Structure 1
Amino acid sequence: MAEFKSSLSGAAPAPQLNAPVAALWWAAKGGWDAAHKLVQDEATADAAWVHAYLHRVEGDLGNAGYWYRRAGKPVATGSLESEWERIAAALLGSGRA
C-alpha cells in the first residue's frame, strides 16, 4: 500500500496494474474520467466495486448502488477517503493488482 501511495506522485500509474487498481490511482489524483474509462467496460467484481466508488464520488448514488450490487458489496456509508483506502487495501492485498 505504501508503494502504491508513493506512486501517486508520478504522472501515470504503473503499467502492470490491472484496470481496477489503475482506476483507483487515477481517482486519487482527481482523474475521475480516466478512472471511469478503465472500469466502465470491465466485467469483474473488482471493477464494479471501483465503478461504484467512482459514482459515489460523482454524487450519483443511484448509479453507485447498482454497481455495489454488481460487485456484491454493501453500499458504502463512510467517508470517500476511507472507502478508497478499504478498496485499495483489498485489491492490493489480494495479489490482484
Structure 2
Amino acid sequence: MSALDEFRETLSAANPPEGEDLALQAIWWAGRGNWTRAHECAQTNEGDPDCDWAHAWLHRKEGDLGNARYWYRRAGRPTPTGSLEQEWEEIATALLARPLTAAQRRKRT
C-alpha cells in the first residue's frame, strides 16, 4: 500500500494524523471536504512553500484563479492545468515523501 493510500484511509478519522505539519493538515482537511479548516491551516504558516502550495490549490478549487495564481507564485510552482484531484494527489504525495521531523518520528513510533 502506498503512502498516499494510507493517507487516504485516515480521511475517515475525525482529525488529521497526529504530528503532521500544517501543509499536510490543510490537504487532509481538503480531502475531507472542509475548505474552511484547510484554508485556516494553510494560512497559519503563510510563507512556507508547502503551505503556500496547498493554499494555491484551495483557491483554485474554489474558483478564485487570480488568488490561486498569486499563491502558486509564492510557492514557486506553475499554475497547473490538470484536474483538481490530480493536483491534490500530487501535493499529498510530495508532502508525504518529505523526510520526517524528529517530532513526527516520535509520534509515529
TM-score, with structure 1 as normaliser: 0.95
Determine which of 40, 49, 54 is the counterpart of 1:45: 49
- 2 CA distance for matches of 1:11 and 1:85? 20
For each residue in 1:12-64, what CA deviation from the matched residue of structure 2 results, as whole angstroms up to 9, or x when unmatched? 10121100001100001110000000111312000000000000011000000
**1: CA distance, partners of 2:99 / 2:88:** 17
Instruction: Tell me which residue corresponds to 2:85.
Output: 81
Q: Which has the larger radius of gyration?
A: 2
Note the aligned Cα RMSD (angstroms).
1.2
Runs of at least 5 residues in structure 2 that lack an aligned partner in the other structure: 105-109
Residue 25 of structure 2 is aligned to residue 13 of structure 1: no
| Identical amino acids, percent of aligned pairs | 52
1:61-81 deviation per Cα after TM superposition (whole angstroms, max 9, x unaligned): 000000000000000111000
Contact 2:22–2:44 (CA under 8 A) maintained in structure 1? no
Q: Which runs of 4+ in 1 moved over 6 A?
A: none
Paired position in structure 1 for 2:69? 65
* d(CA) in 2 for partners of 1:85, 1:52: 14
Consecutive unaligned residues in structure 1, runs of 5 or more: none
Structure-1 separation of matches of 2:44 and 2:21: 13
Q: What TM-score, normalized to structure 2?
A: 0.85
Residue of structure 1 in register with 2:31 after alignment:
28
Q: Which residue is 2:107 aligned to?
A: none
Letter in 1 for 2:48: T
SS at match of 1:25: helix
